[in-house]
């Protein structure tokens, strides 16, 4: 295992103050990884719980009520994807950062479709994991938005109800599809690149897989544009845009 531990001591004091007391559950069956992350997160001001298996994670989540989950996919007694699904039944908005050696696009899409907020592959930098955790918490624990609804033509995203409707018909979106559509709506009429989408939807501050964006745009198109004029458009060589249908 070539995980690097540099960068943990560079945490700024204001960032530590913002994260003080935030409870994080780290689930990994490699004791070295668990201890490294737990120590670094504690030094950064987090309150850390650890688990080495799915069963331990279920017990820790029930008793400790964590505010964010760092989750390995390959656990000795269960699949991390299944564990994420199980924990999300009781807490559908629990932020999840997957941490795994499985780096295929299919695995990333699966993890993010389940509602994972980020996906970090091993070997990793501790500084990177800290930055991803901070970014996810900023996004999921931020203050209320100025408006509870975003609109483009007959497409409406209600942020208070966490629902999306097109021409009065409710769309069933995964958490990641919802976040992607919200970003497109916030930037309606503007072209956003794959890199911008990765940075704002998945907070890939250290680079990400553009193929993930393509797959999720395709999935979103099938739902948003299934029974109406196209709203999501590809601008070749630049990215994507969401704009009202003509006519």
Q: What is the per-residue pLDDT for 128? A: 83
Distance CA 185, CA 193 (A): 14
Asked if residue 39 and residue 126 are part of one domain, the reply reads yes
Give the pTM: 0.56
Asked if residue 117 and residue 154 are part of one domain, the reply reads no
Distance CA 224, CA 100 (A): 32
Asked if residue 100 and residue 161 are part of one domain, the reply reads no
The answer to whether residue 247 sits within a structural domain is no
Asked if residue 153 and residue 137 are part of one domain, the reply reads no
DSSP reduced 3-state for 156: strand
- Tell me which of 50-64, 95-109, 167-181, 194-208 is least confident: 194-208
Q: What is the per-residue pLDDT for 241? A: 92
Asked if residue 198 and residue 129 are part of one domain, the reply reads no
Distance CA 81, CA 75 (A): 10
Tokens matching residue 94: 């629990």
Distances (CA, A) of 35 to 22, 29, 46, 146, 216: 18, 11, 14, 40, 34
Asked if residue 135 and residue 29 are part of one domain, the reply reads yes
The answer to whether residue 7 sits within a structural domain is no
- Exposed, middle or buried: residue 234 (CB in 10 Å: 0-12, 13-18, 19+)? middle
What digits encode the pLDDT tens for the residues 148-201? 688 888 899 988 788 899 988 999 999 889 989 998 998 888 898 888 888 778
Query: CATH no. for residue 233?
Result: 1.10.10.10
- Give the domain extent around 103: 14-141
Q: What is the per-residue pLDDT for 101? A: 82
Tokens matching residue 62: 């029930």
The count of structural domains within the chain is 2
Whole-number average pLDDT of the chain: 82
């Amino acid at each position: 295992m070539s995980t690097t531990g540099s960068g943990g001591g560079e945490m700024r004091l204001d960032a530590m103050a913002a994260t003080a007391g935030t409870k994080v559950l780290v689930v990994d069956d490699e004791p070295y990884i668990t201890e490294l992350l737990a120590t670094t997160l504690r030094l950064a001001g987090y309150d850390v719980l650890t688990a080495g298996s799915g069963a331990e994670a279920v017990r820790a989540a029930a008793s400790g009520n964590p505010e964010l989950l760092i989750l390995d996919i390959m656990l000795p007694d269960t699949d991390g994807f299944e564990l994420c699904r199980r924990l999300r039944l009781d807490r559908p908005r629990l932020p999840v950062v997957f941490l795994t050696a499985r780096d295929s696009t299919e695995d990333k899409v699966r993890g993010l479709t389940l509602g994972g907020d980020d996906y970090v592959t091993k070997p990793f930098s501790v500084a990177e994991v800290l930055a991803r955790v901070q970014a996810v918490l900023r996004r999921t624990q931020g203050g209320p938005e100025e408006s509870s609804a975003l609109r483009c033509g007959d497409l409406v995203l209600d942020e208070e109800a966490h629902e999306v409707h097109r021409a009065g018909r409710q769309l069933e979106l995964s958490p990641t599809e919802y976040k992607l559509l919200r970003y497109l709506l916030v930037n309606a009429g503007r072209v956003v690149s794959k890199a911008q989408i990765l940075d704002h939807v998945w907070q890939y501050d250290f680079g990400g897989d553009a193929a993930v964006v393509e797959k999720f745009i395709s999935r979103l198109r099938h739902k948003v544009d299934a029974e109406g004029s196209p709203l999501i458009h590809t601008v070749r060589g630049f990215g994507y845009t969401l704009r009202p249908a003509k006519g």
